Amino acid sequence: MARPFLKWAGGKAKLAPLVAERAPERIGRYHEPFLGGGAVFFALREAGRIADAALADGNADLIGTWRAVRDDVEGVIAALEPLAARYLNTEQLQQAFAYYKVRDDLRPRLPVAWAARLLFLNKTCFNGLYRVNRRGRFNVPHGRYEQPAILDAERLRDASRALAGVELCAEDFERACARAEPGDFVYLDPPYQPLSATSAFTQYTGADFGFADQQRLRDAFDALTERGVPALLSNSAHPDIENLYRGYAIERVPMGRSINSNGAGRKPIDELLVSNIERVAGASGAQSSRCIPEMNSRSPNASRMASPSASASSSPAHRSGRMGTMAPP
């Protein structure tokens, strides 16, 4: 059974059944522009609901890893094996050194080795977080788990089979949304609008996803609606987000959160599920297009994000120029 192979902040394993229930019966092509760990993609794929999919994320290292798993899963497993063995055979007190050595010293060039490094760091870092510093270097501290499951070869193989023929793009959500057509289905799961200053985790790509990006996303959602493309979007139950999507069907769904490092702060809170599905019935009009070819899938160096549209370039994320790279190899 194919399941997410990464821990990802904001992963939607719990929300996936609700999205599946609300998704259109027939899905021409499935689009997920904020892919992360891909919980909803795997749930729909396993349920036999999608035959064709275009998955994207602004984090180029993440997409490079997904591509490596899709294209050469045995190569990824072979590259991850020695990293996992070295770490697990190290005395627990010394494991932090083993972690920092991979994090700070290893700069592999082959995509499979780069993917293995990201998988290793994802399973051994603090809470599976992904965060880079101003220079684009992954800077999450060691996580201290007892015997972490660093390598699950069967899970990677299942994921690879589920990804056969699936398009994977490192790009901004606007570009990914623009490729969707009537008859397709788009699920949007952006970094959530923080409910408080301390609950914020919006920096998956090295650039903050601020309110200007939330507005840009609402505009993209409106454009999907105008083109007759069914879409669902999840976000925090923040009043500003409710305001942005006024006029759409909005459901409040109770969900657990696990991003807060303070255990006491991990309590279930409502999230929003916004739908345009009723509104788009009967609409049509988009032109077909594919993502910029995956010519860069062979080199992590080259897997930088495709340049966003003109309006995207005014967002803080793009002004910072730090999107989508874990660390230059």
Residues that bind ligand SAM (CB under 6 A): 8, 10-12, 33-34, 36-39, 57-59, 172-173, 189-191, 204-205, 209, 317
Decide whether 98 or 132 has the Cβ nearer to ligand SAM.
132
Nearer to ligand SAM, 33 or 148 (CB): 33
Nearer to ligand SAM, 95 or 235 (CB): 235
Nearer to ligand SAM, 35 or 98 (CB): 35
CB atoms within 10 A of CB 18: 18
> In this structure, are residues 150 and 83 in contact, taking their beta carbons and an 8 Å threshold?
yes
Residue placing its CB nearer to ligand SAM in the complex, 13 or 96: 13
Which residues are CB-neighbours of 20 under 8 A, at least 6 positions away?
40, 43, 44, 47, 49
CB of 213 to ligand SAM, least distance (A): 6
Alpha-carbon dihedral 141, 83, 94, 144, rounded to 10 degrees: 40
Closer residue to ligand SAM, CB minimum distance, 206 or 228: 206
**Number of neighbours of residue 161 by Cβ within 10 angstroms:** 12
Q: How far is the CB of 56 from ligand SAM (least distance, A)?
A: 6
Distance CA 122, CA 38 (A): 15
Nearer to ligand SAM, 120 or 209 (CB): 209
Beta carbons of 290 and 179 less than 8 angstroms apart: yes
Q: Note whether 291 and 54 are within 8 A (CB).
A: yes
- Closest separation between CB of residue 127 and ligand SAM, Å? 14
- Say how far apart CA 132 and CA 322 lie, in whole Å: 9
Based on the number of CB atoms within 10 Å of its own CB, is 65 exposed (0-12), middle (13-18) or buried (19 or more)? buried
- Residues 291, 228: Cα–Cα separation, whole Å: 20
Minimum Å gap between C-beta 122 and ligand SAM is 12
Q: Which is nearer to ligand SAM, 37 or 64 (CB)?
A: 37
Which residues, at least 6 apart from 188, have a Cβ–Cβ distance to it below 8 Å?
Answer: 32, 33, 34, 173, 177, 217, 221, 231, 232, 233, 234
To the nearest whole angstrom, how small is the minimum distance from the Cβ of residue 19 to ligand SAM? Answer: 10
How far apart are alpha carbons 91 and 260 in whole angstroms?
29
Cα gap 275→255, rounded to integer Å: 18
Report how far residue 203's alpha carbon sits from residue 191's, in angstroms, rounded to the nearest whole number.
8
Residue 269: CB minimum distance to ligand SAM, A? 15
Residue 267 C-beta: closest distance to ligand SAM, Å = 19
Least distance (Å) between residue 89 CB and ligand SAM: 30
**Among 284, 136, 270, 298, residue whose Cα is nearest residue 224:** 284
Shortest Å, Cβ 203 to ligand SAM: 8
Q: Cβ closer to ligand SAM: 98 or 115?
A: 115
